[in-house]
Structure 1
Amino acid sequence: MRPRPGEVLHFSEDPTIARFVPHVAPTSREAEAYVWAVDGDRAPDYWFPRQCPRAMAWVTGRTSDVDRDRIVGAGSGVRVHAIEYGWLEALRTARLYAYRLPAAPFRPIASPDSQPHAMVATEPVEPLGPAEEVGDLLACHEAAGIQLRVLDNLWPFWDQVVESTLGFSGIRLRNAKPRPAAR
């Protein structure tokens, strides 16, 4: 599920949203109220149940061959997503919907030291049509050529990713299992 030209997407498990109104999410680092959406590059970050913790990494122009082979895997594409075993059934059975929104009111948002990770609008936005069911989330990953790893614990993978030259994103990591005890 990707946006068409002139669109951005908002993913939700609620198929009944008629209007998106700017708000400050309880977990947001941003103080301003926004309507949140994503472009085509970041859409795969949301092919998960909303509360599912996930660690994602991808090859960028500055990624070393060593990091690509070590973390993504030799000959294994350019992107990998990881979840924990405890979330696999939710991933398999989630009913996720995508709302197509007009891109015009949105602008990219990023941390000062990173690439844009989302699109935001400061005015209410109405969907271009009804919510569309995304379908099989595993199949979405497969069709996009994205590796999906199922791990006992996300933290060892995450720690390698953030110290690498790969691009990365972690979403809902507060819902992951605790870090394993140091050995």
Structure 2
Amino acid sequence: MVPDNLYHYSEEPDILRFVPRPVSSDPTGPALVWAIDETHAVNYWLPRECPRVIYRQSPKVSEEDLGRFFGSSSADTVIVVESTWLDTIRSTRLYEYRLDSHGFELRDETAGYYISRHPVEPLSVQPTGDLLSRVLSRPDVELRFVPELHTIRNAILSSSVDRFSIIRFRNAMPKQV
């Protein structure tokens, strides 16, 4: 079931119409408009190009991995970002576009992705405000800063954690040796 409202986050404040665009990872596939559901919106309360690893608890996560990745945290979602992005996060202005979900279909339930093959006009747009404050306002989310993302990405990929997103990893710092 598609929720009533979906969201799109952008550093552009004046998008009047979202037009389907080719997907860079699948240039021969259909052009799409992407949106996110409210539960996963926090994944996008960061600068567009900011690399991040996000993971969530689920019944499939082993006790060992619960301790390893969530420790004493009460959060069920952890967002991990490289420390070098802190100043950019502080200075980025982001805008939340609310979209009518009519015409969207679920693309990836784990990530909360929805797609439309047709142009979409936003219902509203508003600035998100201070991004750090917005992320930290979610009691179910913990934000962690690390020197590099390769270690956590590799650990998540080889764990029992089954609900995760790895966003803009191409922008991550090279692995430190």
Q: CA deviation at 1:75?
A: 3.7
SS of 1:98's partner is strand
**Match of residue 145 from structure 2:** 150
User: Alignment RMSD, CA only?
Assistant: 1.7
Q: CA deviation at 1:38?
A: 0.3
Task: Indicate conservation of the 8 Å contact 2:55/2:78, yes or no.
Answer: yes
Q: CA deviation at 1:27?
A: 4.3
Misfit runs of 4+, over 2 Å: 25-30, 114-117
**Match of residue 41 from structure 1:** 39
Note closer, same or farther for the CA distance 1:6–1:53 as it changes in structure 2 (3 Å cut): same
Counterpart Cα distance in 2 of 1:144 and 1:28: 33
SS of 2:137's partner is helix
Task: Indicate conservation of the 8 Å contact 1:108/1:116, yes or no.
Answer: no
Task: Indicate conservation of the 8 Å contact 1:68/1:74, yes or no.
Answer: no
Does the alignment pair 1:9 with 2:10?
A: no
Superposition TM-score, scaled by structure 1 size? 0.88
Task: Indicate conservation of the 8 Å contact 2:50/2:171, yes or no.
Answer: yes
**Match of residue 83 from structure 1:** 81
Does the alignment pair 1:163 with 2:161?
A: no
Note the alpha carbon deviations across 1:125-165, whole angstroms, 9 max, x for none.
10112x21111111122111211111111110111111222
Note the alpha carbon deviations across 1:55-102, whole angstroms, 9 max, x for none.
111101211222111112224321111111111111111100010000
The one-letter code sitting in structure 2 at the alignment partner of 1:173 is: F
Q: Give aligned-pair identity as a percent.
A: 35
Counterpart Cα distance in 2 of 1:124 and 1:67: 42
**Segment drifting more, 66-75 vs 50-59:** 66-75
List gaps (5 residues or longer) in structure 1.
none
Counterpart Cα distance in 1 of 2:28 and 2:39: 22
Q: CA deviation at 1:116?
A: 5.1
Q: How does 1:1-183 map to 2 (within 5 A)?
A: 6-28=4-26, 31-110=29-108, 115=110, 117-129=112-124, 131-145=125-139, 146-166=141-161, 167-181=163-177
Q: CA deviation at 1:10?
A: 0.4
Counterpart Cα distance in 2 of 1:58 and 1:30: 32
Superposition TM-score, scaled by structure 2 size? 0.91
SS of 2:115's partner is strand
Counterpart Cα distance in 2 of 1:76 and 1:30: 43
The one-letter code sitting in structure 2 at the alignment partner of 1:142 is: L
Task: Indicate conservation of the 8 Å contact 2:23/2:29, yes or no.
Answer: no
Counterpart Cα distance in 1 of 2:64 and 2:31: 41
Task: Indicate conservation of the 8 Å contact 2:40/2:111, yes or no.
Answer: no
Counterpart Cα distance in 2 of 1:22 and 1:33: 5
